[in-house]
């Protein structure tokens, strides 16, 4: 253990040990013998210090002109671009997804930083004529104060950047609690922010568990917004913690996303899409394609092709350039995958391929599972209703587009959906009638870009969106301003001007 690197919290511009004097290890899910570092297992006292530092820094940061704040964010993007390859390799070692995807993760953080840097010179409000003479009206965005960010392990740099960059450009300060499985990528991101010139106290990083760090963070009255991405179970707890004093909550939670394959679809393309959507990131995206609803007229052909391709996927350590799918993130996640495979079999779904943990040879020290496809799945089965967050896809037969849409809409979630079709009518009908936050035509359910709103309906979210200009609505509040230069008391709605 002596040569294992020790990483620290970042509070008030300094890298410090946790007051708890406790640490935890960060291990490679592809080979758990590899320890990537030792991180601070922080406690409530650390959270309080971080919040205090963010509160103090807010006094000055909110008054820094937004275009100047944005210049720092622009530099974050530039530095990230330089360090992309190195960070990507560390991220693959830390959480298992293949190198192409971790490069994409960092690229998404770069994109978001450039995009939000542009908002430094926008953050547009409205001006509108007054009903009274010699009176001017406008609306402006104002920051809220200290924002808490509780982020997941599946996009260790992209998702924190979706929250950090809009929060910073709007003039807020931040306490950032990354997932326990990916603290290294969080440290890398915060170091870059520091190097880019984010002033001390504006970003504070506190690593540790949900109960040790997340709970006190979301309960603090000094935290004005909690932005959380993770499970619906934890999201509900965040919502409840903030409800009594109406502190703002932004939630991004589960999904049970479906690709619909119409009878006139390009099947090769649909198979490619289902493969990438279902098994990309080992199925560990909230936008992952976990259901494929296929018109019975093309079901046999689609399923055959899909299963053949899934069987041929190369599984292994994501640093190997030939590998197409990495491990699950940890033992608990792998257990969940195996539990659902069992449930699927018990429910009477047809196991078409996969279904087993991989334990031999190169797989013995990692959390690997075969890409798994169930056929003949009933839309009401648990495997077709509950989020699995692993490499398990359910193929659900249907008779018509109307039925496909009904099945697609028939879960508690509403993040992403897609249709493969060559018919404009079917594409537009599905686009209109699916109740999700994201929709794709002839593409899988994953692959959102940073400048459109990201989020979902129903129990996927609470009505907010991140990314795009929608993110500004989470991290700022409108102020309506009226300026009366008539030098007399004018009463809105009461003084009627006749000529
Ligand atoms: C997630 O699904 O957990 O849209 C985030 C995508 C990525 C982000 C996904 N840009 O697939």
Find the catalytic residue in 286, 353, 398, 408.
286
The verdict on whether 466 is a catalytic residue reads no
In a shared domain, residues 212 and 309 = no
Nearest-CA neighbor of 400 among 260, 291, 305?
Answer: 260
Helical (H) or strand (E) element with 237: helix 232-242
Strands 127-129 and 135-142: antiparallel
Give the atom of ligand 1 at the shortest distance from the alpha carbon of 229: 3
Distance CA 8, CA 296 (A): 55
Place of tokens 């659900």: 396
Give the atom of ligand 1 at the shortest distance from the alpha carbon of 446: 11
- 4 part of a folded domain: no
pLDDT band at 499 (very low <50, low <70, confident <90, very high): low
In a shared domain, residues 205 and 306 = no
Centroid of ligand 1 to alpha carbon of 252 (angstroms): 11
In a shared domain, residues 95 and 167 = yes
**Phi-psi bin for 75: left (phi > 0), alpha (psi -120 to 50), beta?**
alpha
- 103 part of a folded domain: yes
Q: What per-residue confidence (pLDDT) applies to 1? A: 46
- Contact by Cβ (8 Å): 243, 264: no
Distance CA 151, CA 100 (A): 21
pLDDT band at 319 (very low <50, low <70, confident <90, very high): very high
Q: What per-residue confidence (pLDDT) applies to 218? A: 97
**pTM confidence score:** 0.96
- Count structural domains, the chain: 2
- 3 part of a folded domain: no
In a shared domain, residues 246 and 282 = no
CATH of the domain at 134: 3.40.605.10
- Contact by Cβ (8 Å): 283, 290: yes
- 242 part of a folded domain: yes
Length of the chain: 499
Q: What per-residue confidence (pLDDT) applies to 446? A: 97
**Does the pLDDT value for residue 378 go beyond 90?**
yes
Q: What per-residue confidence (pLDDT) applies to 83? A: 98
Centroid of ligand 1 to alpha carbon of 108 (angstroms): 10
- Contact by Cβ (8 Å): 94, 181: yes
Q: What per-residue confidence (pLDDT) applies to 146? A: 98
Mutate to test the pocket of ligand 1, among 155, 255, 418, 447 (most ligand atoms within 8 A of CB): 155
Q: Which domain holds residue 179?
A: 9-253+461-480
Centroid of ligand 1 to alpha carbon of 415 (angstroms): 10
Centroid of ligand 1 to alpha carbon of 251 (angstroms): 15
Find the catalytic residue in 101, 252, 370, 466.
252
In a shared domain, residues 335 and 408 = yes
In a shared domain, residues 355 and 474 = no
Q: What per-residue confidence (pLDDT) applies to 169? A: 98
**Does the pLDDT value for residue 67 go beyond 80?**
yes
Centroid of ligand 1 to alpha carbon of 466 (angstroms): 11
**Phi-psi bin for 494: left (phi > 0), alpha (psi -120 to 50), beta?**
alpha
**Does the pLDDT value for residue 2 go beyond 80?**
no
- Contact by Cβ (8 Å): 35, 26: yes
Distance CA 271, CA 269 (A): 5
In a shared domain, residues 212 and 353 = no
Q: What per-residue confidence (pLDDT) applies to 164? A: 98
- 448 part of a folded domain: no
No. of helices (H) and no. of strands (E), the chain: 14, 21
Question: Residue 50: phi, psi to the nearest 5?
Answer: -65, -40
In a shared domain, residues 321 and 275 = yes
- Contact by Cβ (8 Å): 142, 477: yes
Give the atom of ligand 1 at the shortest distance from the alpha carbon of 252: 3
Q: What per-residue confidence (pLDDT) applies to 496? A: 80
- 341 part of a folded domain: yes
- 498 part of a folded domain: no
In a shared domain, residues 161 and 193 = yes
In a shared domain, residues 170 and 288 = no
Mutate to test the pocket of ligand 1, among 276, 454, 460, 465 (most ligand atoms within 8 A of CB): 454
Centroid of ligand 1 to alpha carbon of 455 (angstroms): 10
Give the atom of ligand 1 at the shortest distance from the alpha carbon of 152: 3
Return mean pLDDT, the chain. Answer: 97
- 454 part of a folded domain: no
**Does the pLDDT value for residue 26 go beyond 50?**
yes
Centroid of ligand 1 to alpha carbon of 97 (angstroms): 13
Q: What per-residue confidence (pLDDT) applies to 3? A: 67
Structure tokens at 262: 């119409």
Give the atom of ligand 1 at the shortest distance from the alpha carbon of 454: 4
Give the atom of ligand 1 at the shortest distance from the alpha carbon of 415: 2
Mutate to test the pocket of ligand 1, among 102, 448, 452, 471 (most ligand atoms within 8 A of CB): 448
Centroid of ligand 1 to alpha carbon of 125 (angstroms): 29
Mutate to test the pocket of ligand 1, among 103, 152, 285, 468 (most ligand atoms within 8 A of CB): 285
In a shared domain, residues 413 and 465 = no
The verdict on whether 252 is a catalytic residue reads yes
Instruction: Give residue-wise pLDDT tens across range 273-298.
Output: 999 999 999 999 999 999 999 999 99
Residues with CB under 6 A from ligand 1: 108, 154-155, 285-287, 446-448
With a pLDDT cut of 70, the percent of the chain lying above it is 99
CATH of the domain at 281: 3.40.309.10
Distance CA 404, CA 422 (A): 16
Centroid of ligand 1 to alpha carbon of 448 (angstroms): 6
In a shared domain, residues 386 and 474 = no
With a pLDDT cut of 90, the percent of the chain lying above it is 98
């Amino acid at each position: 253990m002596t040569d294992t690197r020790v990483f620290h919290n970042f509070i008030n511009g300094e890298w410090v040990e946790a007051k708890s004097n406790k640490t935890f290890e960060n291990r490679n899910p592809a080979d758990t013998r590899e320890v990537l570092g030792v991180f601070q297992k922080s406690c409530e006292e650390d959270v309080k210090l971080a919040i205090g530092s963010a509160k103090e820094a807010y006094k000055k940061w909110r008054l820094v002109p937004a275009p100047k704040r944005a210049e720092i964010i622009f530099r974050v993007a530039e530095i990230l671009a330089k360090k992309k390859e190195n960070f990507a390799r560390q991220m693959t070692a830390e959480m298992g997804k293949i190198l192409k995807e971790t490069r994409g993760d960092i690229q998404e953080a770069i994109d978001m930083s450039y995009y939000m840097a542009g908002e430094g010179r926008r953050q547009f409000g409205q001006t509108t004529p007054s009903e009274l003479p010699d009176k001017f009206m406008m609306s402006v965005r104002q920051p809220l104060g200290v924002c808490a960010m509780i982020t997941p392990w599946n996009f260790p740099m992209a998702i924190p950047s979706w929250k950090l960059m809009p929060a910073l450009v709007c003039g807020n300060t931040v306490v950032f609690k990354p997932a326990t499985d990916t603290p290294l990528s969080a440290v890398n991101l915060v170091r870059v922010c520091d190097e880019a010139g984010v002033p001390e106290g504006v970003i504070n990083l506190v690593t540790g568990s949900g109960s040790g760090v997340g709970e006190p963070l979301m309960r603090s009255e000094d935290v004005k917004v909690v932005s959380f991405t993770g499970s619906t179970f934890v999201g509900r707890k965040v919502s409840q913690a903030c409800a009594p004093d109406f502190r703002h909550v932004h939630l991004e939670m589960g999904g049970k996303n479906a690709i619909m394959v119409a009878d006139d679809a390009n099947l090769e393309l649909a198979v490619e899409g289902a493969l990438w959507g279902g098994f990309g990131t080992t199925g560990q995206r909230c936008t992952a394609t976990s259901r494929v609803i296929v018109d019975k007229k093309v079901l046999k052909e689609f399923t055959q092709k899909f299963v053949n391709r899934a069987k041929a996927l190369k599984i292994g350590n994501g640093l190997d350039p030939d590998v197409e799918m990495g491990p699950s993130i940890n033992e608990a996640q792998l257990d969940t995958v195996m539990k659902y495979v069992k449930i699927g079999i018990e429910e009477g779904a047809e196991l078409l391929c996969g279904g087993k943990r991989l334990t031999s040879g190169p797989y013995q020290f990692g959390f690997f599972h075969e890409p798994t496809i169930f056929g003949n799945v009933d839309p009401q089965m648990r495997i077709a209703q509950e989020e699995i967050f692993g490499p398990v896809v359910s193929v659900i037969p249907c008779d018509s587009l109307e039925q496909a849409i009904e099945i697609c809409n028939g879960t508690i979630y509403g993040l992403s959906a897609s249709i493969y079709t060559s018919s404009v009518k079917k594409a537009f009908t599905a686009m209109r009638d699916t109740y999700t936050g994201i929709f794709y035509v002839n593409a899988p359910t994953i692959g959102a870009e940073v400048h459109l709103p990201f989020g979902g309906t129903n129990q996927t979210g609470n009505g907010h969106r991140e990314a795009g200009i929608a993110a500004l609505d989470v991290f700022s509040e409108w102020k309506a301003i009226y300026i009366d230069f008539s030098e007399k008391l004018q009463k809105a709605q009461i003084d009627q001007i006749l000529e």
